[in-house]
Structure 1
Amino acid sequence: MHSLSRLVIAAALACGAGAAMAHNLWMKPSATVLSKADWVTVDAAVSNDIFFFNHRPLAVDKLTITAPDGSTVAPVNLHKGELRSVFDLKPEQAGTYRLALVNHNVMGSYQDAAGQRKRLRGTPEEILQQIPADAKDVKVSEGHTRVETFVTMGKPSALKSSGQGLELVPVTHPNDLVVGEAVVLAFHVDGKPAAGVEVALVRDGKRYRDSVEEQSFKTDSQGQITLKFAQPGMYWLDADAHDNKTSHPRISERRLAYIATLEVLP
């Protein structure tokens, strides 16, 4: 099971989390395809098992819902419980709504003169200013993460990428997934096709199976993977990459993570 996105995002997005922990992050809508304007309820959580509430709520204060015309729609009935966050959305426009949580964070650590490991979080400037001149074993990295899902009312519409971080750039629309039909998904980093990105796919119901049944893929030279879904249901997709294209010369590594919830229909 891939661990990068969980290690990066759990510390950045999980409400109240201190150190990074290996947990799954997700937003799960009650439906992704609507024939008419109707309510959709979305659960958001950080969990030990995919799509099962057993750890803590996922903070959704940075949630952005983008309507088909590019406008921003506010979630309603927002509630944070002990194990999940919940909000509602009623798509009124024909087309596809993109629900996204995007986070950019920087993490640093060093060993002080007494040999104690110190950990830091904040902006690059804040972290670098706090590292003493005599610090040893200095490590500073930044993470760019995106957690999202899609809801379409009527006919699916085109999705515009931001050109920042690791993103899904659909060849096959994410709300047009059907059992047995070929699906092509492309992944871009900063707006360009990304080869060698590791992608994991897990079907809902892991808690009730003897094995995770994870499918693993790696993007080709065009940043694409091709697959067919054998069973209907909700799927958790996790893609991970890393490079040295950081926002500051003293930051050595950039970790990129992308997570999406996709629904496959019979």
Structure 2
Amino acid sequence: MTQIRRGALAALSIAAALAVPAAAHAHRQWLLPSATVLSGADPWITVDAAVSNDLFYFDHVPMRLDSIAVIAPDGSKGEVKNPATGKYRSTFDVQLDKPGTYKIVNVSDGVSASYKQGGEQKRWRGAAADLATAIPKDATEVKIMENSRRLEVFATRGSPSKDALKITGKGLELDPVTHPNDLVASEPATFKLVIDGKPAADVEVDVVAGGNRYRSATTELKLKTDAQGAFTVKWPEAGMYWLEASVRGGQSSIPGAERSAAYVTTLEVLPD
């Protein structure tokens, strides 16, 4: 894949647009829907869920499905059907039984800590509720990190709708300007990132094309949000794209803790 360089677009600051070796990144988490734009009387999708070295290729561990939720076009709770977890991936089905856009979400929250006890460096990871008893009273040099990660994918039956796209106001989220199921290779798409419902300014965004297992290099766009949290993507070509952003800092719910929040989505870009 040849190297890609794009100039600045409206509401966009591009840090770099690079072709990087496929092995440069490891252990990405992702959800991959079998389709994102559907029609017909009874459409279904199958979603793969995994953590892998190569995007959309099963080579590491499956993603657990305990926290998967489906938001129907009217905002009601949808249903995960036929869930299964194997050696390298998990899968589940979603029936699109209502017209409009569905959002499929996997949200994980937790706490990690490092400390010294008796001069020995130790680490702990778990739920916030267990933190008080997890750190020994004689621990020193205690550092606590509150972590949250949101993975989302979108699928639309018929015409796109917006009710399921509403943000929760918690953590790092995507607030679409361009509908995530209305992406075409020839048309730039604009999105906003928000942290706790407020614009996430100056945040780096990685946009990576799938299928890198069969390429000597993968197409990766390095973008950055503007003061309103907005960024624009000019797609190199049609295909499935993995998008990730993360922020550190901000108000933690745990006194004295740092905070880390991440957002991941998979977007399908259709040909002209």
* Contact persistence 2:109–2:127 (CA under 8 A): no
Partner of 1:126: 130
- Equivalent position amino acid for 2:47 in 1: V
Total equivalences in the alignment: 244
- Equivalent position amino acid for 1:226 in 2: T
Partner of 2:153: 149
Which of 183, 191, 211 does residue 185 from structure 1 map onto? 191
Which of 242, 255, 265 does residue 260 from structure 1 map onto? 265
Partner of 1:23: 27
* Contact persistence 2:32–2:56 (CA under 8 A): yes
- Equivalent position amino acid for 2:35 in 1: A
* Contact persistence 2:48–2:91 (CA under 8 A): yes
Alpha-carbon spacing, 1:125–1:70, altered in 2? closer, same or farther (3 Å): closer
1:205-224, aligned counterparts within 5 Å?
205-224=211-230
In structure 2, stretches of 5+ residues that fail to align are 1-24
Q: Secondary structure at the match of 2:136?
A: coil
Alpha-carbon spacing, 1:132–1:220, altered in 2? closer, same or farther (3 Å): same
Alpha-carbon spacing, 1:222–1:244, altered in 2? closer, same or farther (3 Å): closer
Which of 54, 62, 66 does residue 49 from structure 1 map onto? 54
Q: Is residue 230 from structure 1 mapped to residue 232 from structure 2 by the alignment?
A: no
Q: Is residue 59 from structure 1 mapped to residue 79 from structure 2 by the alignment?
A: no
- Equivalent position amino acid for 1:141 in 2: M
* Contact persistence 2:99–2:159 (CA under 8 A): yes
Q: Secondary structure at the match of 2:213?
A: helix
- Equivalent position amino acid for 2:98 in 1: Q
- Equivalent position amino acid for 1:148 in 2: E
User: Could you tell me how far 1:133 is from its partner in structure 2?
Assistant: 3.7
Which of 68, 82, 93 does residue 88 from structure 1 map onto? 93
Residue by residue over 1:189-218, the C-alpha shift from the partner in whole angstroms, topping out at 9 and shown as x without a partner, is 001111011100111111111112211001
Partner of 2:11: none
Between the aligned partners of 2:218 and 2:140, the Cα distance in structure 1 is 40
Partner of 2:177: 171
- Equivalent position amino acid for 2:198 in 1: K
Partner of 1:242: 248
Superposition TM-score, scaled by structure 2 size: 0.86
Indicate the RMSD between aligned Cα atoms, in angstroms: 1.4
Q: Percent identity?
A: 49
Q: Is residue 136 from structure 1 mapped to residue 140 from structure 2 by the alignment?
A: yes
Alpha-carbon spacing, 1:217–1:201, altered in 2? closer, same or farther (3 Å): same
Single out whichever of 133-142 and 22-31 deviates more from structure 2: 133-142
Alpha-carbon spacing, 1:193–1:41, altered in 2? closer, same or farther (3 Å): same
Superposition TM-score, scaled by structure 1 size: 0.88
- Equivalent position amino acid for 1:205 in 2: G
Q: Secondary structure at the match of 2:130?
A: helix
Between the aligned partners of 1:177 and 1:194, the Cα distance in structure 2 is 23
Between the aligned partners of 1:172 and 1:51, the Cα distance in structure 2 is 24
Partner of 1:12: none
Partner of 1:107: 112
Between the aligned partners of 1:127 and 1:70, the Cα distance in structure 2 is 34
User: Could you tell me how far 1:130 is from its partner in structure 2?
Assistant: 3.1
